[in-house]
Structure 1
Amino acid sequence: MAVHAQRHSYRDDASVPRFDDGRPIVVFDGVCVLCSGSMHFIQQHDTRDAFRFVLAQSALGQALFRHYGLPAENFDTVLVLDDGVLHTKLDAFAAVMRRLPGAWRVLSAARFIPSLIADLMYDLVAKNRYRWFGKREACLMPTAALRARFLPDGWKTAPAS
């Protein structure tokens, strides 16, 4: 089931570090090959430099997952924050596609798939993503150019608690 929350609700949560939310933000699992590959796809096709990225394993990523009541150790969804609105699962994919230029926008039609079917499809891939696509031993270490697309400290993993 997709998570729904009030717009900008994280701003009132003292446990969420303050961050610049003036552009859409993608919070993704940095050890998942599919997830980090998707982030690279967005970066490559985002010719307007609209998106910013955050590792789910970073302090900010962890805080956002907890804020929305999602497990902060098993990232079974990507989070997309666009104008303070949370998008998860296939809705997150559609939100990203809506912002990419050109023909990619047509894929935003995924938002019209009934949520029961969309969630089942997304959950199937999420549950099997490590087995099907692989898992890195450590989080993605972005190049300097890619790191510029991350929110400050959004690419550094949080210390183990």
Structure 2
Amino acid sequence: MNKKNNTEFEDKILILFDGVCSLCNVLIKILDRIPNDNNIIICAMESTTGMQILKDYNLKLDPDTVVVIEKNKYYTKSKAIKKIVNKFTGFSKSLAIINIFPDFIINIFYDLIAKNRYRFFKRYKSCPLNKKTNKLNLKILN
């Protein structure tokens, strides 16, 4: 995915996540079950494609934050979470209530979880979600 040539993804969001984090992978699997009108694409940030996308946006690899790219702009932490939730449809759309909370409050909780996730959840050697073995409905970039 090139920053300048991503018309295929214009109406979608791309989520770059820590592919070796078991908590992140569980959350992706939950996300896969939430109706979203196929508006969400995922990519492990440490994958070859993920690293290229980070480079295209002049971002450094930071597994402690999720990155969402929408319409050639990137968002991290609370802003990224809000972008994801806003793509939900059906009953799950009610989760958009998160938008009423200020970013700094959400970021406090986000940072606390991000910094401690490996302490409470295991870490994979490589991302278990890939095109060949996944059974997800979400589109995956490897």
TM-score normalised by L of structure 2 = 0.79
Which one of the candidate residues 2, 10, 35 is aligned to 2:3?
Answer: 10
Q: Distance in 1 between matches of 2:30 and 2:24?
A: 10
Distance 2:124 2:67 in 1: 20
Q: Hey, what does 1:64 align to over in structure 2?
A: 53
Q: Does 1:75 align with 2:63?
A: yes
Check whether the contact 2:17–2:44 (CA below 8 A) recurs between aligned residues: yes
Partners in 2 of 1:70 and 1:84 — Cα distance? 13
Give the counterpart letter for 1:127 in structure 2: K
Q: What residue in structure 2 maps to residue 55 of structure 1?
A: 44
What residue number does 1:146 align with?
Answer: 136
Which range moved further: 118-127 or 141-150?
A: 141-150
User: 2:90 is matched with which residue?
Assistant: 102
How far 1:69 sits from its partner (Å)? Answer: 5.0
Counterpart CA distance in 2 for 1:132 and 1:70 is 27
- Aligned residue pairs, count: 137
Spell out, residue by residue over 1:80-135, the C-alpha distance to the aligned partner (whole angstroms, 9 max, x if none): 12233322112212211111112222222223322222221111111111112221
Contact 2:68–2:75 (CA<8 Å) still a contact in 1? Answer: yes
Determine if contact 1:54/1:60 at 8 Å carries over to the other structure.
yes
Name stretches of at least 5 consecutive residues in structure 2 with no aligned partner.
none
Runs of at least 5 residues in structure 1 that lack an aligned partner in the other structure: 1-8, 12-17, 156-161
Runs of 4+ that moved beyond 6 A: none
Report the identity percentage.
26
Shift of 1:66: 4.1
Q: TM-score, normalised by structure 1?
A: 0.71
Structure with more strand by fraction: 2
**Secondary structure in 2 matching 1:92:** helix
SS of structure 2 residue aligned to 1:76: coil
Paired residues of 2:15 and 2:42 also in contact (CA < 8 A): yes
Distance 1:91 1:106 in 2: 17
What is the RMSD computed on CA atoms of the aligned residues? 2.5
Q: Quick check: 1:32 aligned with 2:26?
A: no
